[in-house]
Structures are given as structure tokens and as C-alpha cells.
Structure 1
Amino acid sequence: MKLKTLPRPRQDAGWGGAIATVVGGLVILFGMPMVTGTFGLLQVTVFAALAIFALAQGFIWGFGGILCFGQSAFLGLGGYAYAIGAMNMTDTTGAVALAVIVPMIFAAGLGYFMFYGRISDAYIGVITLTVTIILFNLINSTSGDIYHIGAAPLGGFNGIPSVPPLNIPGNPDDQLDPTGLWYCAMGALILCYILLKWVLATRFGRVVVAIRENETRAQLLGYDPRLFKLLTFVIGAGISGVAGCLYTNWGAFISPTVFSLTMSAQVIIYVLVGGLGTLIGPILGAVAIQYLITLAGGQHVIDPNLMLGIVLVAFVLLVPQGVAPVIRGSVRRLMPSRSVATPAQAEVSQGASQ
């Protein structure tokens, strides 16, 4: 009688792959200013900011099993928190802290009622999508002089222009130029990747993945799925806030469009194209899709939204697992494992086959 081998659960690349990813990121970080000009740096800076946004969605969905259709709510809250804080503070360091804290507090309040209220996964998607629409309509209706927070006018559908850029902490007069902003954005992307990789390697991360795989079994083992889902949701919101801060700095402008359905749908496409259940996948998906959108915006033959829809349908039908898992699987087939069984393993295998 032969014993069936259980399939290994799909997971992100190990520490070897993580080290290679970080090294590659550092090469891009320091090499990009040498090969491109100011305009090119501005383009790749927004790519890095949206990659952080995709990384947050990939974490809570791919590893936490929480399909959030309203992740753009945290992106927008982070962007607006930074803009309002920067216009009311001399030093933007405090505004950066607000960009992270405000989305996390909002996520903690919203997530508490969703997860502790035993709301099903489908309704979580509906609720988060509804919250995004509410925020979009709310901010869109704040035009006029009466709508302001301190020295920052909310601006309604016109948004908040002339947002002060990031400065060196403790030195408000030393503001970042496009090169400095690129270093900040790409550095933040690398740090967020390392942070999430570390979180997933801890006991907390293993429990989160276990809850995604079988929530009932994890609960029977003594873990509270509601608490772990809430903490995962809050971490994803904080990382989205970082992306919102950088996105606002990229254009020195923030408007209600960050809460739009387009942003919510786009980040889901990033994750699907890159690969659900990986960390590098959403990053690759965000960069690839944004690059295609940039190319499509420079021509007048095909509508960019139509092109984005075609790409999504093609990947769902042809490459449903995403780019990163396909590449990883191809590499593993080309470089097969050469592990040698121990004598004990060989004896068990021989006995099982008899």
C-alpha cells in the first residue's frame, strides 16, 4: 500500500528569494537615478507608491483571506491625512505619522464591527466598497471656504493643491527633490516588503495563514480568528496609508479620485495579475499594469480602461495563478531539488510501498 503525499501549501518565496528580492530592490533604488532623468524618476516614483498599495492588498487578501473591495479608502485617508497635516505643521514628519495612524484607527473601528460582528466574507467586500463610496461622496462635497481643517481647505472635487513636500525630519527647510522622493518611495517599498516578510515568518503570520486555510480548525486550536483578522486588516491599512502619503507627494496634490471605484478595482487587478498569495507578485503586477496604462495614455487608438479590462480578462483566463507563481514554478522545474533522503526516511518509504 502506498501512502499518498499531501500537496505542499502554496506560499511565497523563502528567505533566499526574499534576499534576492531585497538585493534587486537596492540595485534599482541606487541605479535608477543614474539611468533616467527627472521625468523618468517621477514616473517610477508613482510606480513604487502604487506597488506599496498593492503590497498591502496582497497581504490582507492573499495571506489573511480578507477580500477588501475598498482598500482605496485607506490610501485616500493616508493621502488626505498627510496633506492636512503638512499644511498645518511646519515639519512634515508629523504629517507622515498621521498618514499611517489615521487609516489604522479607521480600519480598527471598521474591522471591529465587521469581524467581531461575524460578518461573512462576501458582506465584508460589500461593506468596504460601500465605505469607499461614502468617503468619495463625502470629500467630493466639501467645496467652499467653510470646509477646512485648520489652514488646509478640503477643496471638494478640486482637491488640495500645493501640498508641502516631505522634508528631512527635524529640518523643515530641507525639502526633498524628485531624486530624494524616489529614494524615499523605493526605500519605503523595500522596508514594507521586509516588514511583511518578517510578519509572515512569525507565529502571528503562521496563525493568520492557518486561519485563511481553515478558520474552524484554527479556532478549535485556541486562536481567535476575529482578533487575527482585525490585526491583519489594520496592518494593511497602515501600509496603504504610507502609499497614500507618497502618492500625494508625487504630484503635490490629492483629490477625491483616490477614493474612486477605479482605484479599488485597480489594486485588485494588480494582485490578480502578479499572483495571489505572494508578496512579490502584487509589486510586479502594479508596476506592469501602471506601465501599460502609461503607454496607453500616450496613444489615442485604444481606450486605457478597455486595455486594462482586456489584460484582466486575459490573465484570469490564461494565467489565473498570476505571474509570480508561474515564474517560480518554471524556475523550480528548470532547477529540480536534489535532496537526499535520510536512512530513516528511506526505510519508511520502502515499508510504505510494500
Structure 2
Amino acid sequence: MRNGFYSAGIGITGSGSAAPAGRLTNQDLARMVETSDDWITTRTGIQQRCLATPKESLLTLGTEASQKALAMAQVQPQELDLVILATSTPDDLFGSAVSIQRAIGATQAVAFDLTAACSGFVFGLVNAAQFIRTGAYRKVLLIGADILSRWVDWSDRSTCILFGDGAGAVVIEATAPDRDRLLGFELCSDGSLNHTLTLNHQGEEKNLTEEVTVGQGKYQPITMKGKEVYRFAVEKVPEVILKALFHAELTAEQVDWLLLHQANQRIMDAVAQRLNLPPERVISNLASYGNTSAASIPLALDEAQHAGKLKSGDIIAMSGFGAGLTWGSAIVQWQIES
């Protein structure tokens, strides 16, 4: 934040993204459950979603996105100090960041997973900033990636229409303190609302002895109370963005781009209206990808960059929100020339 005292600032120097080639359209879903293209599009804005095949993995998607981000930043993998993977769906429950670290050849970097569901990329960005601002590290790779199709009940039309798979990554590097591009942030969580969006453990009993019984690992599919999540997002997201803007000493009028977690087009429209931002200043690729959780913000950011929308100096208000419930906002000044 602008009134802080740091040994370094941060800047995003490269971005990359990856998504499976397979597409499941609304018409496909209409043949699977009782729904229609019009019903889905009207309520969510989603037209299709990318789904990973059994041969694809978080490792393959995250590695591809990371390599593209490193190439744009002109950073060699061996130069990285830290790799953060924001995900709720690792290939290995012990963590997948180290697998990506190995795959890209980041031999000098420490790597760890961070789980904050759909808020993961924003939480990861703020975490990465603290390592750089304190002088501990200078070059960080931040990945947001999820394969939610693994955990969807494809007979539940309230959830199966929403989720897709993908990955996005950014390279974050140290700058001079007076050139810090993370202008402000605000992070929040409320466990009392955890029940509204879950992917819960449901162990099966296994008797080890007459006195000892354990629960063997298994998870339920994603469950969501859509109306409650919608009300939460429409109320809390504008509020957290305004708080982050306050820390940045900026107003909503000074925002060039609103980049929200791609969950529902109606949510994005409602948040933009509350901030008095016109639709043309909202970055959205939801129609093509669906809700890709922690991947959604970096994936949309990378697409906007390659489409030539983002200009050096643009102010981007990012906000993630989702399971936990968690939500947060980061105000970033873009510095990469299109």
C-alpha cells in the first residue's frame, strides 16, 4: 500500500494461460440434464466450458501457463526464488506446486500450494508481494489453476452448468519501492458462511481393531447454495474493492479495468453497476470458459493482455470471491506494453 515502507516494490512482468481443448457446450448439457442453452446463458452468461481429459492434469495446465508467463517476462526458470500455486484441486493432495517447479526447471525456487478457492489468485498475489517487499525474494511465479470437473456431480444441474478447467500464471518481480505496482489490497474471510459452497470430505468407516475406527479418504461433489452465494458476492465484492481503492488512495472513477473472478455474469454486472463502471471496462471471458476458480482471474488477465486491451499504466481492480467464504481485492497498475 502507498503509505507503507518497503525495501522493494512489485510489478507483474509476464503472463500466460492454458486451457483444455475439450469444450462442453450448453447444448451438450441440455442432453445430459434438464436445462437449455437459454436457461444457462440467461442466468450465468456461460455458453461453454473447457474440460480436462483424464490424461490432462493440473501439472500439464499449470506448466504450460507458467512457461508462457516466463517467456513473456524473459525470466529463466532458474532465476525464480518462489513458486506459489493457488489451487483447490491439486493432482496430489500433499501439493502440486513442487511438481510444476520441477517440470519448468525452477531449481532454485521454493514451492508451495495455497488454497483459498476462487479467491486463491488474489490471496496468492498479496502473499507473493510480502516476500518481495520484505526483500526475501525478488522473482516469484504465481499460478492459479483448477480442474473442478473432477469434483462436479454431472447430474446436478445447479452446479454442473458452472464449472470448467484452466490455468493462468504471472511472473512478479521486485521493483524500486517508488515503482510499486500493487497499490492497495484487502482480504477477508467468514467461516460462518462455509456451508454455502463446499467440497467436503466424506470418509468411509474402516475398522482397524475392535476399539479403533478411522475414516478412509473420499470427497463429496461440489455443493452450492447459489442464491446465498449470489447475495454475498453482490454485497461484499463492491465493498472490498472500495476498501482496497481507499488503501491505494484511488476512487472507482480512476479504475480502467474491473477484473472479477469469473463466476457469473450477473454478479459481474451487478458489481460494476454498484461501482458506477460501464460494461466496456469489465474484463469477461466467462462465456467461453465457465467458472475456473483460482484460474479465472489470471486466465482472463492474460487474454486481455494478448488482445491488446491492457495498456501500461492502466489501473486494474481485481477481486476474487468464493468458498470459505473468502473474498479479496488487489489494485494493480499494469506495466507491460501490449
TM-score under structure 1 normalisation?
0.24
Larger strand proportion, structure 1 or 2?
A: 2
TM-score under structure 2 normalisation?
0.24
Larger helix proportion, structure 1 or 2?
A: 1
